[in-house]
């Protein structure tokens, strides 16, 4: 069934229960949406901005959005782009697009004006809904996107080149628009992270969305009384598909703006969150803040917090060992996935398998997995090959890109571009991205393995290993190390720490600098290569 039916069922079963909370500690007021109306409550200076909506209001908002789109000419199969920061309107607009029979097209909030224009053109978007943070970027391209028939601004003080969405949608019917949808209808276009150039458009059917919801609930067992803390951006499949577990169970979710350790821990305490999904840097920052005394856990009520899970990137085993020392009662899980496989879950560790920390896990619910060589043959256990996955969540295609589609989709198998291996028990370990493998003097180096080793150093906040050109060896490994605040580190210390590594795996260059990551936590290695390849590298001591 299409995913919108879960929302409609929740609106009937839990009409007056909270569905979504928007929490922004930077704003000094609370505005709460009840099932009847908005209520604005001024708060003393220093209090945070908080809104919440019930399942009934959520569904009504989605219906109003769908009716507005339909009344303004959006037809089944049209594309509706969403360019907004996380907030109370994001998900109702997403579901409104689906209820109108359109495809939802979420856009990365970090896109430049040119990238926004590129993605709108590539996806054949017919409408764009955007927030206040994007006025300048959208204005820059407003007269260069002729395919986009509707420009709706979601916020206060509407710019002259757009229409006021909140004003218009308030006058639409809250009744459901009757559009027939099936699992085989197209539902959404997501974009790849664009780490190798402009992003590719990834087309998914309603079947994919539904499978993602079922997988998430099966893996993490969301119950109706669970509260999910969502911090990553909703435009990405990772955040949204994890939230789908709350959609299935009819549970409450908190959309938090802000990633400071104190902000995350306070939100988990105040909202009585039971499930928190973190990226690696956020988890590290929380532990560092506890270790330094900036966070005193006695000041918070985290008794409801039962599960911490991490995805979107390889997870250092040393991080999870530290976490379990501080939070021994937490279950832990990690998830692996791609936007091409509708986000996390095609591989997952499982809370019962924490003894295998370091692995990404086993095939997820309803998924098949294999590891193959360059000829498509399955490799032996312990050998490295390319990870391929198959299941109901595999994308339909790269929209308007047959060549790229044929490169990764083969007989229903999605070839991920990630290098992996299995141990004797069948658990899958991610080795590295195929394109990130460093070949030095004929030996294959997998940067993730070196990064995991270096992260065990107590002075290291973050690290990235890249290959740099070398006249003699072809490539050498360079470690970009971000030092923890208040710590000092030298190259000599790094080399001494790496003595336990085989000589060919030790980094030949050490660079002390900030490690850039994208909004989903992935290291931006193309940016690092552009910064450092071919340049003279000076190894210096720094204070973090």
pLDDT one digit per residue (tens) for the chain, 544 residues = 799 999 999 999 999 999 999 998 865 443 433 333 333 333 433 445 889 999 999 999 999 999 999 999 999 999 999 999 999 999 999 999 999 999 999 998 888 898 899 999 999 999 999 999 999 999 999 999 999 999 999 998 899 999 999 999 999 999 998 899 999 999 999 998 754 457 899 999 999 999 999 999 999 999 999 999 999 889 988 888 899 999 999 999 999 988 899 999 999 999 999 999 988 878 988 999 999 999 999 999 999 999 998 876 667 788 899 999 999 999 999 988 889 999 888 999 999 998 898 888 999 999 999 999 988 999 999 898 999 999 999 999 999 999 999 999 999 999 998 889 999 999 999 876 767 778 776 566 878 888 888 988 989 999 999 888 876 666 788 999 999 988 999 999 999 999 888 787 889 999 999 998 876 667 888 788 888 875 434 333 333 3
Mapped onto helix, strand or coil, the DSSP state of residue 184 is coil
Same fold, 4-258 and 338-433: no
**What confidence score (pLDDT) does residue 427 get?**
95
Give the start-to-end residue ranges of the domains of the chain. 4-258, 338-433, 437-543
Per-residue model confidence (pLDDT) at position 282: 87
Mark out the alpha helices in 482-524 (DSSP H runs). Answer: 491-497
Characterize 31-52 residue by residue with b for buried, 16 or more Cβ atoms within 10 angstroms of its Cβ, and e for exposed.
bbbeeeeeeeeeeeeeebbbbb
d(CA 460, CA 480): 10
Quote the tokens at residue 31. Answer: 């505005």
Distance CA 90, CA 72 (A): 20
Strand partners, 462: 482
Q: State the pLDDT at residue 30.
A: 38
3-state secondary structure of 539: coil
Tokens coding 330: 């937490």
Terminal alpha carbon distance of the chain = 52
* Burial 147-167, CB ≥16 within 10 A → b, else e: ebebbbbbbeebbeebebbee
d(CA 228, CA 216): 12
| CATH code for the part of the protein at 437-543 | 3.30.300.30
Please tell me whether residue 533 adopts helix, strand or coil conformation.
Answer: coil
* pLDDT value at residue 27: 53
Domain 4-258: CATH superfamily, name plus number: ANL, N-terminal domain (3.40.50.12780)
Looking at residue 199, what DSSP letter applies? P
DSSP H helices, 293-390, are 317-326
Q: Which of 518, 217, 194 is nearest to 345 (CA)?
A: 217
Q: CA-CA distance, 231 to 254, in Å (whole number)?
A: 8
- pTM score, two decimals? 0.82
* Strand ordering across the sheet containing 186-191: 163-164, 150-154, 127-131, 79-83, 103-106, 186-191, 201-205, 397-398
Question: Among all chains, which residue has been given the structure tokens 């988890």?
Answer: 283
Question: How confident is the model at residue 314, as a pLDDT?
Answer: 66
Domain 338-433 has CATH 2.30.38.10: yes
And the tokens for 134?
């994007």
Nearest CA to 24 out of 83, 92, 87 is that of 87
Cα 397-337-230 angle, rounded to 5 deg: 115
Instruction: Give the pLDDT score at 43.
Output: 40
Query: What is the pLDDT, as a whole number, of residue 100?
Result: 98
């Amino acid at each position: 069934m299409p995913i919108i039916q879960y929302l409609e069922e929740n609106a009937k079963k839990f009409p007056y229960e909270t569905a979504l909370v928007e929490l922004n500690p930077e704003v000094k007021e609370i505005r709460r949406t009840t099932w009847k109306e908005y209520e604005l409550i001024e708060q003393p200076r220093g209090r945070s901005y908080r809104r919440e909506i019930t399942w009934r209001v959520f569904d009504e908002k989605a219906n109003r959005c769908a009716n507005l789109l339909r009344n303004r000419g959006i037809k089944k199969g049209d594309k509706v782009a969403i360019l907004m920061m996380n907030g109370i309107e994001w998900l109702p607009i997403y579901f409104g697009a689906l209820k109108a029979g359109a495809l939802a097209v979420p856009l990365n909030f970090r896109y430049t004006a040119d990238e926004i224009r590129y993605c709108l053109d590539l996806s054949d978007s017919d409408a764009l809904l955007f927030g206040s943070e994007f006025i300048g970027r959208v204005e820059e391209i407003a007269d260069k996107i002729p395919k986009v028939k509707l420009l709706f601004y979601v916020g206060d003080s509407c710019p002259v080149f757009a229409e006021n969405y909140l004003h218009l949608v308030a006058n639409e019917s809250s009744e459901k628009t009757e559009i027939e949808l099936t699992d085989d209808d197209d539902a959404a276009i997501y974009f790849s992270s664009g780490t190798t150039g402009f992003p590719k458009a990834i087309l998914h059917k309603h079947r994919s969305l539904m499978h993602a919801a079922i997988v998430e609930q099966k893996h993490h067992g969301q119950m109706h009384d669970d509260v999910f803390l969502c911090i990553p951006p909703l435009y990405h499949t990772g955040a949204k598909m994890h939230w789908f577990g709350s959609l299935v169970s009819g549970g409450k979710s908190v959309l938090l703006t802000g990633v400071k350790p104190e902000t995350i821990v306070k939100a988990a305490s105040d909202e009585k969150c039971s499930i928190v999904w973190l990226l690696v840097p956020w988890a590290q920052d929380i532990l560092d803040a506890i270790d330094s005394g900036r966070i005193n856990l006695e000041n918070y009520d985290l008794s409801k917090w039962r599960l911490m899970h991490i995805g979107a990137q390889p997870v250092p085993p040393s991080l999870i060992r530290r976490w379990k020392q501080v939070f021994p009662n937490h279950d832990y899980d990690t998830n692996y996935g791609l936007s091409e496989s509708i986000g996390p879950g095609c591989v997952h560790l499982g809370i019962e398998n924490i003894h295998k920390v370091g692995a990404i896990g086993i095939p997820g619910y309803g998924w098949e997995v294999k590891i193959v060589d360059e000829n498509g043959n399955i490799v032996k256990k312990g050998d490295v090959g390319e990870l391929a996955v198959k299941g109901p969540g595999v994308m339909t295609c790269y929209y308007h890109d047959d060549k790229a589609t044929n490169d990764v989709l083969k007989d229903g198998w999605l070839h991920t571009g990630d290098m992996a291996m299995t141990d004797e028990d069948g658990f899958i370990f991610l080795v590295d991205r195929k394109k990130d493998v460093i070949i030095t003097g004929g030996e294959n180096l997998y940067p993730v393995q070196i990064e995991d080793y270096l992260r065990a150093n107590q002075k290291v906040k973050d690290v990235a290993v890249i290959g740099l050109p070398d006249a003699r060896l072809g490539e050498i490994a360079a470690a970009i190390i971000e030092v923890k605040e208040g710590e000092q580190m030298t190259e000599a210390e790094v080399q001494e720490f790496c003595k336990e590594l085989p000589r060919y795996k030790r980094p030949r260059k050490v660079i002390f600098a900030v490690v850039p990551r994208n909004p989903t936590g992935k290291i931006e290695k193309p940016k690092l290569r552009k910064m450092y390849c071919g340049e003279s590298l000076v190894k210096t001591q720094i204070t973090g």
